[in-house]
Amino acid sequence: MKIIMLGAPGAGKGTQAKMIAEQYAIPHISTGDIFRANIKNGTDLGMEAKKYMDQGLLVPDELTVRILLDRVAKDDCRDGYVLDGFPRTIPQAQVLDKALEEIEDKIDFAIDVDVPDENIIKRMGGRRSCSKCGAIYHLEYIPPETEGICDGCQGELVLRDDDKPETVKNRLDVYHKQTQPLIDFYEKKGILKTVDGTQNMKDVFAAIVAILG
């Protein structure tokens, strides 16, 4: 089962992707996690990606494609995977389709977690990330046990630059111009499924499970 998660930044698709991966025992592949790992380790790729992410811009195709195609070719992806954060543009979707066709494979579902912009700006302003391990919390929805401290590694929780309201608005503008056309792209292919992302996390997941079966 090969699944693509769609939705604006902050719509909750990453959380849902992790839950899907656990439910169906398939890898959760997040380009965002891969980029952040590279940034934390100070790699050339990470530093290049950081320039774009700090401005709320999308990482260019050539950086993203290089990472992803190698990842889905690994053995643990044989039974499927959940892609979170890729593709972001029509050209990326076309590159992915072509690569999968070459190995006689295809994406089974594109799930759009639909949330209005105003909800997203409020959500992301409350997000906090661990400066050590990268774990993500939310002041309202997933608060840490101790304010400002990661439950796992005791690292400091911070508001990332790309979660600040002005950056979120910029990211949403970019999303509507570049990424939202993917909804039409996958609808034409007959694999798009839309869920109401304004519901609580468990209800959104239940709706996705009902789609996947």
Reported as a single tens digit per residue, the pLDDT across 117-176 is: 999 988 888 989 999 999 999 898 889 999 999 999 999 999 988 888 889 999 899 888
Residues annotated as catalytic (active site), given as ranges = 13, 88, 127, 160, 171
- Model pLDDT, residue 199: 92
pLDDT score, position 100: 87
Q: Which domains does the chain have, with CATH numbers?
A: 2-116+166-212 (3.40.50.300)
CA 126 to chain centre: 18
The whole-model pTM stands at 0.74
Phi, psi of 83 (to 5 degrees): -95, 125
- Taking only the tens place, the pLDDT of each residue in 20-78 is 999 999 999 987 777 787 788 898 888 988 888 888 887 888 788 777 776 777 899 88
Q: Pick from 210, 204, 184: which is nearest to 89 by CA?
A: 184
pLDDT of residue 1: 93
Indicate the pairing of strand 28-30 with strand 2-6. unpaired
49 contacts: CB under 8 Å, gap ≥ 6? 35, 38, 39, 59, 63
